[in-house]
Structure 1
Amino acid sequence: MKNYLYNMIANIRNGQIVKKSFILQSKKNICESLLNVLWDEGFILGYKISENNPNVLKIFLKYKNGKPAINSLKLISKPGLRVYYSVKQLWKLNINNGTIILSTNKGVMSINECKKLNLGGEPILIVK
């Protein structure tokens, strides 16, 4: 399940290094929910389903003054070492200039949404 996420994160990272305007990614529900969070937080311009192939997403990357909007994507929970945060642990975290994206029982959401809904979960990545 998560291999699609890790592949998409690597594609976004590599696409921004070479300054591509968009990248193509296979369409999976978990990937779409992660892209919705990235779009809500302002890290990508958006995404859409490709006209030629309905199983492919076209992700539009965002740049500010020629520099990528995403400076770093760091994976927290990996297949070999799963990490879970409770609500109390989330309130202790202090993230400046970025956000943590978590997978919860209510779906994929940012740390701010998790704090509002009083939910814990598995942190997927830190985006700065």
Structure 2
Amino acid sequence: MSIQDPIANLFSSINNAQARSKDFVKVPSSSKKLALLSMLKQEGYIQSFVASEGSKPEIEIKLKYFEGAPVIKQLKRISKPGLRQYSNYKDLPEVNGGLGIAIVSTSKGLMTDQQAREAKVGGELICSVF
């Protein structure tokens, strides 16, 4: 069975693992997932991730908790395969009053909403994280 939206599957896996207080979660690997996880690690939402090679490449993600509670309160897909959402840099959303981040796919690569505003580039709104 093929996965229709691999990014949404990644987010569901992370949300489900955190709901069960798991330390690690494994998901199928792709370059876009690695780029998204790199952004989440850079912003401090996950501890680490390791990509494994083989016949079925996987990514093992080490989740992050603070005082027993998951660091990620909400991980939500914005742009979906059936309904793409685009925004220019002036209209990028502020997630929870600036406490969270939105990840944007721009012509210069993946960026947070703050980085996209500073670079004055818009793009496809991938997700919001709080």
Tell me if both proteins adopt one fold, taking TM over 0.5 as the criterion: yes
Runs of 4 or more above 3 Å deviation: 50-54
State percent identity of aligned pairs: 36
User: How do 1:77-96 and structure 2 match up within 5 A?
Assistant: 77-90=79-92, 93-95=93-95, 96=97
- Alignment equivalent of 1:24, drawn from 19, 23, 26: 26
Return the alpha-carbon distance in structure 2 between the equivalents of residues 82 and 119 of structure 1: 17
TM-score by length of 2: 0.87
Q: Could you tell me how far 1:70 is from its partner in structure 2?
A: 0.3
User: How do 1:1-128 and structure 2 match up within 5 A?
Assistant: 3-50=5-52, 55-90=57-92, 93-95=93-95, 96=97, 97-128=99-130
CA displacement, residues 76-125 of structure 1 (integer Å, 9 cap, x when unaligned): 112222110001212xx333321001111222221111112211011111
CA RMSD, aligned part only? 2.0
Structure 2 portions without partners, runs of 5+: none
Return the alpha-carbon distance in structure 2 between the equivalents of residues 20 and 8 of structure 1: 15
TM-score by length of 1: 0.89
Local SS of the residue matching 2:37: helix
Return the alpha-carbon distance in structure 1 between the equivalents of residues 4 and 128 of structure 2: 16
Local SS of the residue matching 1:115: helix
Q: Could you tell me how far 1:52 is from its partner in structure 2?
A: 7.4
Change (3 A) 1:84 1:2: farther
How many residue pairs were aligned?
A: 126
CA displacement, residues 40-63 of structure 1 (integer Å, 9 cap, x when unaligned): 110000101237777111100000
